[in-house]
Amino acid sequence: MKQGKIHLYTGNGKGKTTAALGLVLRACGASMKSYIAQFMKSGDFSEIKALERFGDLVHIEQNGPGEFYNMSTSDYIVHRGCAKKGYDAAKTAILSGEYDMVVLDEIIGACAYNLVTYDELLVLLEAKPESVELVLTGREAPTDLYEKCDLVTEMKEVKHYYNEGIKARKGVDY
């Protein structure tokens, strides 16, 4: 790829990570290498198991302590440490020349909680080599970020079965 773009999937609707992983799957079909950094996540999710089958083309790192971040009850230092480790590894991956696509899953959420600063995110955008396709996901992206991206999709929740008491379903929601 000669000219990598910056994608942003944001909004309160379901499908941001799914859209990003769909791009990774498409990249695998084209024998492109992808790096996925998941911020504020850790666990044995179905997408991790599926992508392990593409081990020669996809590298995934989870950067969360194993619990969802709650500003009033979580240890900020622990969560910030995980996010910083993920940020540093993602920056290395972006600059390495090894990956055609880099996905920063939930980086926007990490910024919303100040686990990664918005200025740190901007450094990644500026440092991105022209050949790297960069994908950002997460709710509540600041609208000034839209101008720095080449593709912006807002996922809007219209209706969700979760609001009817249906819990997340394996293979569909996780």
Segment 61-117, tens digit of pLDDT:
999 998 889 999 999 999 999 999 999 999 999 999 999 999 999 999 999 999 999
Q: How many domains does the chain have?
A: 1
Residue 174 covered by a domain = no
Which tokens sit at 4?
A: 């990598």
| CA–CA distance, 13 with 76 (Å, rounded to integer) | 26
Residue 169 covered by a domain = no
| CA–CA distance, 163 with 29 (Å, rounded to integer) | 36
Residue 70 covered by a domain = yes
